[in-house]
Each structure stands twice: as C-alpha cells, then as structure tokens.
Amino acid sequence: AQRVTQPEKLLSVFKGAPVELKCNYSYSGSPELFWYVQYSRQRLQLLLRHISRESIKGFTADLNKGETSFHLKKPFAQEEDSAMYYCALSGADTGGFKTIFGAGTRLFVKA
Amino acid sequence: SAVISQKPSRDICQRGTSLTIQCQVDSQVTMMFWYRQQPGQSLTLIATANQGSEATYESGFVIDKFPISRPNLTFSTLTVSNMSPEDSSIYLCSVGGDTSYEQYFGPGTRLTVT
C-alpha cells in the first residue's frame, strides 16, 4: 500500500539547534517526494521536492531509497521556521497525479 | 505557479443545508483536486475534478454528498450536501502541475456546521 508516515506530531527545538523532521514512505514504483509547509494563517505551499535537490530556506531533504525515507533537515532552526510540515509523495502508481500526504509534524522553534 | 482563490473563506451553516465552494485559478490547468482537512488531521483527497466529465471520487466519498462541477479549465465547485456537524472541516482546492506532480493550494474554506 502507498503510505507516508511522519512519526512525530510535534517537534520542539531551540533557535539555532539542528532540526530533522522524519518521513518514511511505502511505494511500489519510483515516487516523487515533496515537503509542504503551512505557516500560521497562510495557505499550504510547496517547500521542496526531491528531484530538484535544492535547498529552500536552509532546508534540505535527501531521498534514501534503501531506507524509504525523505527526512527534512536544517542545521540551524529559526523562529520563523515554526509551522506545520507535511511530507507527501506522488507518482504514476498513485493514479492520475494524486498526492498522498503524511499526517504532518508541527515544528515549534523556541527563542 | 498558479494563483488560486476560493470562496467563501469561511461559513457557518445549519445541519441539513448545502454549501457550494468555488475555486478559481488564474490560468488553465488540467488537474484540479478537492481535499478535506479535519481539525488536527492531515489532508484527505475527496475527488479529482475532471474538465468535461464526472469527477473521480476517492473511497469513502460519493457524488451525492459531494457533487463537483468543472465547467472549464480555470474553475471548479464543490458542494457539501445535507450537512452534518461531522462535515465541519477545512476544504481545500488544489491544482497540479501539468508536467510534474507538485500541487498548489487555495487558501481553503473553513466550514462549521451547527
């Protein structure tokens, strides 16, 4: 079954500390993995995608096919990173460009 | 990326009534989706809105409860019919990239059913 698992509902770190939001997936083919973010009172938006291999707002995520993981990392958390983060996957096997979302992790960065 | 608007942004409705949510995109898009996000939960796909044909519904969602229209490539509506308090949720419209799988979301409609 196709599934995205985010084991942590809440992650709290101090400003300047490293942060890692975990994401594991189950998918039979070759997935495309994404991280979406929702800041307070803003719409859900794409943060980054694995195929771009880019760093956005200091965040990176590497697709590990062996561990079926796509963890989101940032070396030094900032207060403005506080938000809800969703890991998501899509691909031809999800049918019709559908996206499967994880349950989300709320990141709280303390001053 | 596409700019997506939704109307209304929020509403409070009585049980047994229906509400139609509109989704407008500033460019023509092939893929449009409707999601539900219940309090404290993740996004659940309701259906894919297909232009010129019936929507494709996910398991657990039926056309009689959530009729969808897609008259053209920039507009879609979702109706929540015969509402009950369990329908209280945020309803999101999204569009997909034509050449990639990422999605772009509207601001959402917060529905409260009393």
pLDDT digits 0-9 by tens, A1-24: 789 999 999 999 999 999 999 999
d(CA B78, CA B85): 18
- Among all chains, which residue has been given the structure tokens 């803003």? A42
DSSP H or E stretch at residue B56: strand B56-57
**Can you point out the beta strands (E) in A1-95?**
3-5, 10-14, 19-21, 24-26, 32-38, 45-49, 60-61, 72-74, 83-90
pLDDT in tens, A20-76: 999 999 988 888 999 999 999 999 999 998 888 788 899 999 889 899 999 999 999
B18, pLDDT greater than 70? yes
Give the pLDDT confidence score for residue A92 in this predicted structure.
73
Contact (Cβ atoms closer than 8 angstroms) between residue A8 and residue A22: yes
Of B8, B35, B5, B4, the residue nearest B110 (C-alpha): B8
- Does B72 contact A at CB distance below 8 Å? no
B98, pLDDT greater than 70? no
Give the pLDDT confidence score for residue A24 in this predicted structure.
97
Mapping DSSP to helix (H, G, I), strand (E, B) and coil, where does residue A79 land? helix
- How far does the CA of residue B92 sit from the closest CA of chain A (Å)? 9
- Looking at chain A from residue 39 to 78, which residues have their Cβ under 8 Å from any Cβ of chain B? 43-46, 49, 51
Percentage of chain B modeled with pLDDT above 70: 97
Q: Do A99 and B108 touch (CB under 8 A)?
A: no
B73, pLDDT greater than 80? yes
